[in-house]
Amino acid sequence: MRSVFSEYLVSITDTVKDMVARLAETYDYVSALATDSKGFAVRISNSSKSASNRTMTTERGIVFRVSRRGLYSEYAFNDLDPEKEDEAMERLEQALEDQYDLLYSAGVREYETPELDDEPLELFVEKETEILPEDCELETMVNDLVDICEKAKQMDERVVECYTSAQSTHISKMFISRNRFLRQSYVYSEGSVAVVAANEEDNKFAYKAVSGLKGPEIFRDLRSQLEPCIKMADELLSSERIVPGEYEIITDPSVTGLIAHEAFGHGVEMDMFVKERALGKYYIDKRVGSDKVTMHEGALCAENVTSYAFDDEGTLAGDVTEIENGILKTGICDALSAKRLGTVPTGNGKRENYAHKVYTRMTNTIFDSGTDSLEDMISSIKKGYLLEGCESGMEDPKHWGIQCIVSLGREIIDGKLTGKIVSPVIMTGYVPDLLGNISMVSSDREVFGSGGCGKGHKEWVKVADGGPYLKTIGRLG
Amino acid sequence: MNMTERLIEILKNSGADDYEITINDTKAWEFYFIRHELDQNRVRNTKEISVKVYKKSEDGSSLGFATAVIPPTASDEEIEKTVKDLVFQASLLKNRPFELTGPGESSIETEESDLKEQSYGFIKTMDEIPEDENSYLNSYEIFIERTDRRFINSRGVDISFSYPYSMVEAVVNARNEKEEIELYRLFEMGTLRKEVLNENMTEMEKMGLNRLRAVPTPKTEGYPVLFSTDDARNIYYYFIDNTDAAMVYRKLSSFEIGKSIAEEGTGDKLTLKALGRLEGSSSNFPYDEEGSPVRDMDIITDNVPVNFHGNRMFSQYMGIQDSFSLTNIRAEGGTHSEEELRSGNYIEALEFSDFQVDPITGDIFGEIRLAYVHNADGSGYYVTGGSISGNMKDNLGSMEMSCSLRQYDNMLIPRITKLYKMNIAGVE
């Protein structure tokens, strides 16, 4: 089934085109991004059940970007009435003029940026999906989720609360500039099963998730996540604290994805190069990992929650090889940063929503697969841990520090899993050391899109990441 | 008929048993700087209309609710379809019944603020932060907002109030001949608090220079950890979350009214209060999101929970009729001076990559970007790298706090919090 493009956006197209043309009489560059993304989020736990039409990416609004003498300005709003175009134009121009007056009176110096490229381009994409969010049979789904929560408590009496969630979003976006007219529509979904289990001493939290460039049909897989989730909670309850130190480690694909995201995801966002905030700028064509490390980034390099056709600045989606056999080749870049750096944008200019500024952001960030088997990787370790389940991470692109919170570690002694579990595990280190010590890479790979990503502590967007099992050396605490 | 009136009309005829409408009309100005040059300026004028519909089961034994955001550009047909969908969705969801807030009307003008005036003040303040060639502002972003909020429900509540919100995200760099490092901070407040911003920025610059002197974190077994920056807020969120009616009802928290949260120990006894108003806070809302009035309330007194807080649903499940969702917090109970806490062996955590305290498990984590190791003999030095971990449950009886307090936006907490049972993973 086609993900049908928004009727609302169709209804405002002529008005937006006309406003772009009128603004172009005053400004050097003009573009507009209009959005109308709809969806649902159902959250069921044993003690609370709710539904909403709001997900992380549902929105309806419009943002105009203009530039004059090298200064870029934006006006975002969500009450465009095609019958009151003049009024909208007046409000937009007046608001920006008020800001220019203020900037002049405050004596603000401007960061001059060349005019953005605007080669002619037209695109209309409606991606296929099995079921649209708006056609989902909610009653069946709610009953299923309620049943999963009840089953969780029956399966293990230590389960205090089971949480399930199912969210599906139908994205529609339209980009208009003087020479570009791009429209896209696609559906992505994500769901999760999580349990809190308790014994006399501890509470432990375990979760499993599904996600993809799919419709609500993906939630059929949620039930199968319950058993591994409860098994994980059981293992966490019997886990011990790790003795801090440096160990040989194997990262599962979710932890591998977290490393990809934190290490050379944020580390090569090129708006950080403009601000001299990333060390990566000085390591292009230099070694940052072992020969076994190859990493890709881009909306086109996997089919997942952020696999769009064009980004929020009207740049077509890409697939960038960031690291090739350990050598850092390039970063990812939004359009304005590309102008400032004298390079080309890679299709990574993203907004939290229409009301937020564009930054360079990740899409799919993925380590390439290798040739090793997990069994061989385990048997090669004298003393170490198999790390499973990513919880959160943070990077320091200026200093290449990394922090990954991992759900659990499985002890490996003399090439065998001992059955001992440690949790929680905090993995820290220096990125080139972590990647430089990668000595084995499994032949499979997985991609995960159930999380969100912030820039600093704000600007939340959907991202996906993943890869194969990796063997390296890490500092655990 | 305006959109709100149309929406109410549609809701009244929808078959919904109850409803709530929240309208947030936000006007915001934003300024993005690289060094002190303007990278981009933005205006954001948005209106968000959120509606929540409640539907009882036929026998009244359960209550379902569903929420939707309705765009201000929605047609009557769109609104009608959205409300119809909400009523259907709510009918599928079986929660234990609870009552909505009601009735009451008020219109309150909170803090005065003018976007242009506030913007000018923030831009000038940031431009005048003292800098030198070794310590300087790399980049910063300024967000100034004013929101007019109206809350209406089917029980006769119609409340309007306005509030300001400001945020500065700042990156400070420090450098010497060998390297350059950065520190990141996000400051939130109501309107401009020039002296607070100045104090924080100066502190950041000093920390940046200290990080340049830092050596790899050594093994410091048994050293207690001092928290003296905004990261300490996460420690107090643990207590806030564990006294939330939802956490208690779900048995995710073991806190009980009248029962001490810690065995009798050597530590200070925590007192936690909700504040209806805190000067300079960005959360001075007279009513919470469900229209419940916000007021001063004791939460924990001398380590003993005295009131749980939270939304109406879980508060009523816990038998509490007049609770509300917290906006501002005051934590106190420390008996120590800052000098007393800064004595003996300790490691003072000054900058983490991302400091976390898990409210459910109590786990504490953070990678050290900058800390100060102090030895009992008076010697000390700055360190970087490695991590700190522990668990709040292990620290409840021995946690110490300073008498002096410091405000971070909507939280007034001890200037120093000292945790004894922590693991420090060094890099040497």
Q: Which residue has the higher pLDDT, A424 or A142?
A: A142
Burial class from Cβ neighbours inside 10 Å (0-12, 13-18, 19+) for residue B424 reads: buried
- In Å, the largest CA–CA distance within chain A is 75
| Cross-chain CB nearest to A275 (options B139, B386, B424) | B139
Q: Which of B327, B321, B320 is nearest to B276 (CA)?
A: B327
Name the CA dihedral angle for A140, A141, A142, A148, rounded to a multiple of 10 degrees.
110
Q: How far apart are CA B352 and CA B354, in angstroms?
A: 5
- The H or E element spanning position A360 is strand A359-360
The rounded percent of chain A whose pLDDT value lies above 90 is: 92
Q: Which residues on neighbouring strands pair with residue A173, listed in sequence order? A: A35, A184
* 3-state secondary structure (DSSP) of residue B355: coil
What band does A349 get if pLDDT is binned at 50, 70 and 90?
Answer: very high
Asked whether the beta carbons of A172 and A134 are under 8 A apart, the reply is no
Phi, psi angle pair for A86, to nearest 5°: -60, -40
Question: For A317, which DSSP code?
Answer: P
* 3-state secondary structure (DSSP) of residue A363: coil
Burial class from Cβ neighbours inside 10 Å (0-12, 13-18, 19+) for residue A452 reads: middle
Asked whether the beta carbons of A55 and A39 are under 8 A apart, the reply is yes
pLDDT value of position B265: 80
Closest chain A residue to B172, measured at CA: A277
Six-digit token string for A474: 């890490």
Which domains does chain A show, CATH number per domain?
Answer: 7-106+123-230 (3.30.2290.10), 245-476 (no CATH)
Please, what is the average pLDDT of chain A? 96
| Cross-chain CB nearest to B120 (options A74, A102, A355) | A102
Q: How does pLDDT run across A66-75, given as a tens digit for each residue?
A: 999 999 999 9
- Listed in order, strand segments (DSSP E) in B318-426 are 328-332, 346-352, 356-357, 363-374, 380-384, 387-391, 400-401, 405-408, 411-414, 417-419, 422-425
Residue A90 clears pLDDT 80, i.e. is over it = yes
Average pLDDT over residues B347-356: 93
Six-digit token string for A233: 């909670």
Q: Which of A141, A140, A157, A145 is nearest to A46 (CA)?
A: A145
Q: How does pLDDT run across A233-254, given as a tens digit for each residue?
A: 999 999 999 998 999 999 999 9
What band does A377 get if pLDDT is binned at 50, 70 and 90?
Answer: very high
**Chain B neighbors of A142, CB-CB under 8 A:** 92-93
Cross-chain residue pair A53–B68, CB shorter than 8 Å: yes
CA angle A443, A447, A449 (to 5 degrees): 170
Cross-chain residue pair A76–B182, CB shorter than 8 Å: no
Six-digit token string for A345: 């944008």
Residues contacting residue A278 through CB under 8 Å, at least 6 positions apart: A267, A268, A269, A270, A272, A331, A397, A398
Q: How far apart are CA A261 and CA A463, in angstroms?
A: 9
The CA distance from A444 to the nearest CA of chain B, in Å, is 31
Q: How far apart are CA A442 and CA A469, in angstroms?
A: 5
| Cross-chain CB nearest to A244 (options B249, B317, B425) | B425
The two beta strands, A109-110 and B37-56, are parallel
What band does B333 get if pLDDT is binned at 50, 70 and 90?
Answer: very high
The CA distance from A473 to the nearest CA of chain B, in Å, is 13
B11-29: burial string, b at 16+ Cβ within 10 Å, e else? beebebbbbbbbbebbbbb
Q: Count of CB atoms within 10 A of residue A87's CB? A: 11
- The H or E element spanning position A19 is helix A7-23
Name the CA dihedral angle for B264, B266, B269, B270, rounded to a multiple of 10 degrees.
-110
pLDDT value of position A457: 86
pLDDT value of position B111: 65
| Cross-chain CB nearest to B181 (options A49, A50, A399) | A399
Average pLDDT over residues B397-426: 96
Distance (Å) of CA B210 to CA B183, B203, B352: 11, 11, 14
**Residue of A9, A42, A53, A423 to mutate for B, most B C-beta atoms under 10 A:** A53
Q: Which residue has the higher pLDDT, A395 or A175?
A: A175
The CA distance from B297 to the nearest CA of chain A, in Å, is 26
Q: How far apart are CA B200 and CA B126, in angstroms?
A: 11
pLDDT value of position A440: 98
- In Å, the largest CA–CA distance within chain B is 76
Hey, what amino acid is at B356?
Q
**Chain A neighbors of B116, CB-CB under 8 A:** 98, 102
* 3-state secondary structure (DSSP) of residue B320: coil
Closest chain A residue to B141, measured at CA: A357
Q: How far apart are CA B303 and CA B272, in angstroms?
A: 9
Asked whether the beta carbons of B414 and B270 are under 8 A apart, the reply is no
Cross-chain residue pair A392–B66, CB shorter than 8 Å: no
Cross-chain residue pair B354–A111, CB shorter than 8 Å: no
Asked whether the beta carbons of B27 and A355 are under 8 A apart, the reply is no
Supply the pTM of this predicted model. Answer: 0.95
| Cross-chain CB nearest to B47 (options A54, A79, A426) | A79
Q: Which residues on neighbouring strands pair with residue A208, listed in sequence order? A: A193
Residue B110 clears pLDDT 80, i.e. is over it = no
Six-digit token string for B288: 């919470």
Residue B428 clears pLDDT 70, i.e. is over it = no
What band does A267 get if pLDDT is binned at 50, 70 and 90?
Answer: confident
Q: How does pLDDT run across B64-77, given as a tens digit for each residue?
A: 999 999 999 999 99
Q: Where are the domains of chain B?
A: 3-211, 215-425
Q: How does pLDDT run across A441-456, given as a tens digit for each residue?
A: 999 999 999 989 999 8
Cross-chain residue pair B43–A76, CB shorter than 8 Å: yes
Residue B407 clears pLDDT 90, i.e. is over it = yes
Rounded to a whole number of angstroms, the distance between the first and last alpha carbons of chain A is 48
CATH code, B3-211: 3.30.2290.10
What band does B108 get if pLDDT is binned at 50, 70 and 90?
Answer: confident
Cross-chain residue pair A138–B89, CB shorter than 8 Å: yes
Asked whether the beta carbons of A418 and B355 are under 8 A apart, the reply is no
Asked whether the beta carbons of B287 and B161 are under 8 A apart, the reply is yes
Average pLDDT over residues A80-103: 97
Q: Which of A223, A129, A209 is nearest to A169 (CA)?
A: A129
What band does B221 get if pLDDT is binned at 50, 70 and 90?
Answer: confident
Asked whether the beta carbons of B128 and B180 are under 8 A apart, the reply is no
pLDDT value of position A393: 87
Cross-chain residue pair B46–A355, CB shorter than 8 Å: yes
Phi, psi angle pair for B295, to nearest 5°: -145, 175
Burial class from Cβ neighbours inside 10 Å (0-12, 13-18, 19+) for residue A51 reads: buried
Residue A351 clears pLDDT 90, i.e. is over it = yes
Cross-chain residue pair B367–A394, CB shorter than 8 Å: yes
pLDDT value of position B178: 87
Residue B212 clears pLDDT 70, i.e. is over it = yes
